[in-house]
Each structure stands twice: as C-alpha cells, then as structure tokens.
A = this chain, B = another copy of it.
C-alpha cells in the first residue's frame, strides 16, 4: 500500500501466503466475499500483485481446497476395521465441510483435483479397502459412491434443518404426517435431523455396498431400470 512503486528488495508474496489470506477471508466473509481485492487488502498489496504468483482466481480456490483435503481424518485406515474407518472418514469430511459451508461452493466451482494432498487422501482410503480384501474393481467405485453422498450432504449444509417441513399441513396432509413422524423419531434420540439423515445415509450406503460386493454378484447386481420408458 505505502510501498514504493518498483520491485521490493524481498518478495512480499508467495502462493502460501496468498492461500493463508484466502482461507482467512473465506472464514470471515464467506464465499461471496472471497474476492481478489479482499485477499489483496488482507495482504496489504495491490490486487494485481496476486497475479504474479497465481494465474487466476480459480487457482487461488484450488489452493484453498487442497489445504482442505489435507485436513481430513484418514487415521482409521489401517488401525480400525474398514467399515469404521470409512465412517470416521465420512464424518470428518462432512464435519469440515459444515464448519465452512463456503468451501462447498468453492469445491463445486473447482472440483477436487489431482493435487498432492488430495491424491494422498485417496490412496489411504484405497489402501484401506485393499487391506480388507475388497476386489480391485470395486474399490474406486465404492469410495466414489460414498464421497458423492458426502458432497450431496454438504450441499444441504447452508440450508435450514427443515427443508422438507411442509408449510401448510392442510393442503398436504401426507407430507405433514410423514414429516411429523420423522421429526418425532429423530427427536426421541436427541439427534439433530441432519445428523440423523447423514447417519442413515452413510450406514445405508455401507450396508448396500457390503451387500453388493459381499454377495459375489458385483457389477451384475445393479441393473438399470431400462425397458420402462423415459
């Protein structure tokens, strides 16, 4: 800002410091506030200075997302039974996305890429499947199904807990009744609805995957609903 006009004797920026600033801005201002100008302001630098280190905004987002992937909990793989390790991984994944729902939009904009930390994370998960004896052709697909569900669950994070709550019970009695029954049974256990849903989702998926691959039928199990038009 009050820096002289030419090149500084020592570099003020690098990709690391830009990522730090971006992460801080993201936490403070949300995804919409994560602008090049805001990052620059936090670094005490002109916006254009960032472009000497990262070529465009998407590269900044990718760096943020790479840092996110590094923080996921893969400690269960190799130390716990696979099913519990997967569950722990899934919950840590969701928890981190929920702490910073802004990250979801970032990841949607810049899908998880082939960055070192991300690759390392996948490798650990895959090693967990392999060590548990899963057939090689089932591993990538099973991991992907679970991860896909986690992303979907994270999408709901910014929205309120009662998206399915009907607005007028008079007009939609069935929706009202089933919603009330759901809410009551969740409340009985003192669990938040979205946690109950995620728990059901993860456990259903794991149960389903174990059933599909454990039955020996594998890819043949799941037949698409073709033949019944549109």
Interface residues of A (CB under 8 A from B): 73, 75-76, 80, 84, 87-88, 91-92, 104-105, 108, 111-112, 114, 119, 122-123, 126-127, 129-130, 135-142, 144-145, 147-153, 155-156, 158-159, 163-164, 166-167, 172, 174-175, 177-179, 181-182, 184-186, 189, 195-197, 199-209, 211-212, 218-219, 221-225, 228-230
Taking CB atoms, residues of chain B closer than 8 Å to A84 are: 225, 228
Stoichiometry (number of copies): 2
Distance, CA A182 to CA B162, complexed state (A): 38
* Chain B neighbourhood of A158, CB < 8 A: 111
Contact of A163 among B112, B174, B182, B201 (CB under 8 A): B112
Q: Among B92, B174, B197, B207, which residue has its beta carbon within 8 angstroms of that of A230?
A: B92
14 residue pairs from A and B, CB less than 8 Å apart: A84-B228, A88-B228, A122-B175, A129-B178, A130-B178, A140-B181, A141-B196, A142-B200, A147-B152, A151-B151, A185-B218, A204-B212, A205-B208, A207-B212
By the criterion CB–CB under 8 Å, are A111 and B199 in contact?
A: no
> Which 7 pairs show the lowest CB-CB distances between chains A and B?
A152-B152, A204-B208, A203-B222, A208-B208, A136-B181, A148-B152, A137-B185
Task: Give the nearest-CB partner of A226 in chain B.
Answer: B91
Taking each of A108, A112, A127, which has the highest tally of chain B beta carbons within 10 Å of its own beta carbon?
A108
Q: From A160, which residue of chain B is reached at the shortest CB distance?
A: B111
Q: Is the CB of A177 within 8 A of B136?
A: yes
Nearest Cβ in chain B — how far from A26, in angstroms? 16
- Taking a contact as CB atoms under 8 Å apart, the answer to whether B149 and A201 are in contact is yes
With A136-B181, A185-B137: A144-B112 Cβ-Cβ less than 8 Å: no
B119 and A172 form a contact (CB under 8 A): yes
Contacts A88-B228, A151-B155, A189-B219 known; 15 new A-B pairs at CB < 8 A: A76-B228, A87-B225, A126-B174, A126-B178, A136-B177, A136-B181, A139-B181, A140-B178, A140-B181, A141-B197, A148-B153, A196-B219, A199-B222, A204-B222, A207-B207
